[in-house]
Amino acid sequence: MPDMSMQNELLSLSNHELTDLVRRLGHPAYRGRQVADAIFRQRRDSLAGVSNLPLALKSQIAHEGLSVGLPRIEQQFRSADGTVRYLMALADGQSVETVWMPEGDFGEAGDGSEAGQEELEQLDSTCKPKRTDKKMPGLKGSSASPTQVRSIARSRATVCVSSQVGCAVNCQFCLTALLGVKRNLTAGEIVGQVLGVLRDHAVNLERERMNIVFMGMGEPFLNYDNFIKAVRLLVEEVGFPESRMTVSTSGIVPRIFDFGQEPIRPKLAISLNAPNDTIREPLMPITRKWNIEALLDAARQFPLRPRELLTFEYVLLDGVNDAREHALEAARRVRGIRCKVNLIAFNPGPGVNYTMPFQDRVLEFQTVLADAGIPTFIRRPRGRDIYAACGQLKRTVS
Ligand code: SAH
Ligand code: SF4
């Protein structure tokens, strides 16, 4: 796909590249570090107010056509559960969505990381959220009232970022797919979403622990270079630990191999979503290119770190892939892989013709996998009321 993005934002440049830039403009190297500090640590949206930089340098940078490139928050929608969905405006008039979940959604639970451990502590021994009523709101067969808004536990907050404007993968259950793909995001636009949200919530990264999931709009592994550069910038310039980041792919097999070789990388989640090709292909046409066996082969060869678990995501669609035999078959398929499974109950939306699974089917599915020895968690739907949950990001504004 042609890269229509402009790459003229400072947020796409590392400290090293910023240093090269200021030197080329005739300034001492330490000015590069000052620019990096202003944009990545102080989260400035413009260099104008940065008093320790010389005016000459600021106007030379502007003259080069470079600006900070922090996306502008065009609109925000707040859910009853505290989730905020942001519509972020990009320099060329396109927009993407970024989501802030104050308490996470149990996506990292039990994945071997510190973030996963913190989420585990919020779950009871059956891997279900600790709560007074055990019903899962929003699922068929549940009479529970909507999740109560609790005090904001910021140490577990998660930012969900987009990697492309739209998505080309065309999964039939996903609202983002309806947009098609408009373009890739630059590294700076990916980093900028995180900084924009951290800025809006005045997060102090030295005191507060946060997670990032690359699970918003788009397929990160179809924008691999910009995605991985964004990861490096977040780790090296923003100061975000890689162990607190997770990327999800629909199964772009060659990139899974590349990703395994990266010296700095988030944890890996793979959207499995079906136990066999017959069910998966109509749901995820990408299966024709890389079938489940090719995908699981890449998963088997993936070089996990000590204690790390690979995550398989599985969207449960009523009457399609949520039967007991599907759970048994899925358990057989992933046997031998050091993994956990995250079950996601289908989040509905206009233009997508599936329905939410029944609560007892979701629980049975979890039990079958757990009985096969696979740690299995149910992702909490976050921000469904404002179209912020998994698969619902399609720039809805009303
Ligand atoms: N493109 C990547 C990451 C973004 S989607 C991927 O597909 O993996 C993040 C997760 O949301 C994926 O596991 C996807 O299968 C799931 N998802 C998509 N649409 C959904 C929907 N309508 N309801 C629930 N989950 C959905
Ligand atoms: Fe793209 Fe992921 Fe949606 Fe599939 S589920 S269309 S890969 S964003």
Nearest partner of 319 among 355, 351, 292, judged by Cα:
355
Residue-level pLDDT at 1: 54
Does the beta carbon of 270 lie inside 6 Å of ligand 2?
no
Across the range 4-13, mean pLDDT stands at 78
With 50 as the cut, is the pLDDT of residue 149 above it?
no
Report residue 151's pLDDT band, with 50, 70 and 90 as the boundaries: very low
Distance from C-alpha of 387 to C-alpha of 30, rounded to nearest angstrom: 44
Report residue 150's pLDDT band, with 50, 70 and 90 as the boundaries: very low
Across the range 281-295, mean pLDDT stands at 98
Structure tokens at 252: 């772009």
Residue-level pLDDT at 357: 97
Residue-level pLDDT at 136: 58
Distance from C-alpha of 351 to C-alpha of 353, rounded to nearest angstrom: 6
Which of helix, strand or coil describes residue 200? helix
Residues 232-275 pLDDT 10s: 999 999 999 999 999 999 999 999 999 999 999 999 999 999 99
Residue-level pLDDT at 395: 76
Tell which one of 219, 221, 223, 390 to mutate to probe ligand 2, the residue whose CB is within 8 A of the most ligand atoms. Answer: 219
Q: Give strand ranges (E) for the chain.
A: 72-78, 84-89, 95-101, 158-160, 164-166, 181-184, 211-214, 245-249, 267-271, 310-316, 339-345, 376-378
Residue-level pLDDT at 387: 86
Kindly give the interhelix angle for 224-233 and 253-260, rounded to the nearest 10 degrees.
Answer: 30
Tell me which of 95 and 4 has the higher pLDDT: 95
Q: Measured in whole angstroms, how far is the alpha carbon of residue 271 from the centre of its chain?
A: 12
Residue-level pLDDT at 121: 78
pTM score, two decimals?
0.92
- Beta carbons within 8 Å of 248's beta carbon, 6+ residues apart: 213, 214, 215, 220, 269, 270, 271, 311, 313
Relative to the alpha carbon of 215, which ligand is closest?
1
Tell me which of 127 and 61 has the higher pLDDT: 61
Task: For residue 174, give the ligand 1 atom closest to its CA.
Answer: 19
With 60 as the cut, is the pLDDT of residue 153 above it?
no
Which residues does the annotation mark as catalytic?
97, 390
Residue-level pLDDT at 396: 75
Residues 313-371 pLDDT 10s: 999 999 999 999 999 999 999 999 999 999 999 999 899 999 999 999 999 999 999 99
- End-to-end CA separation in angstroms for the chain: 31
Tell which one of 215, 286, 342 to mutate to probe ligand 1, the residue whose CB is within 8 A of the most ligand atoms. Answer: 215
Residue-level pLDDT at 323: 98
Q: What is the mean pLDDT of the chain?
A: 90
How many CA atoms lie within 13 Å of 104's alpha carbon, on the beta-carbon side?
28
Residue-level pLDDT at 137: 53
Residue-level pLDDT at 391: 81
Task: For residue 170, give the ligand 2 atom closest to its CA.
Answer: 6
Report residue 283's pLDDT band, with 50, 70 and 90 as the boundaries: very high
Across the range 276-286, mean pLDDT stands at 98
Does the beta carbon of 223 lie inside 6 Å of ligand 2?
no
Looking at ligand 1, which residue's alpha carbon is closest to its atom 3? 215
% of the chain exceeding 90 in pLDDT = 77
Give 206: exposed, middle or buried? Use CB within 10 Å, 0-12, 13-18, 19+: exposed
Residues 13-69 pLDDT 10s: 999 999 999 999 999 999 999 999 999 999 999 999 999 999 999 999 999 999 999
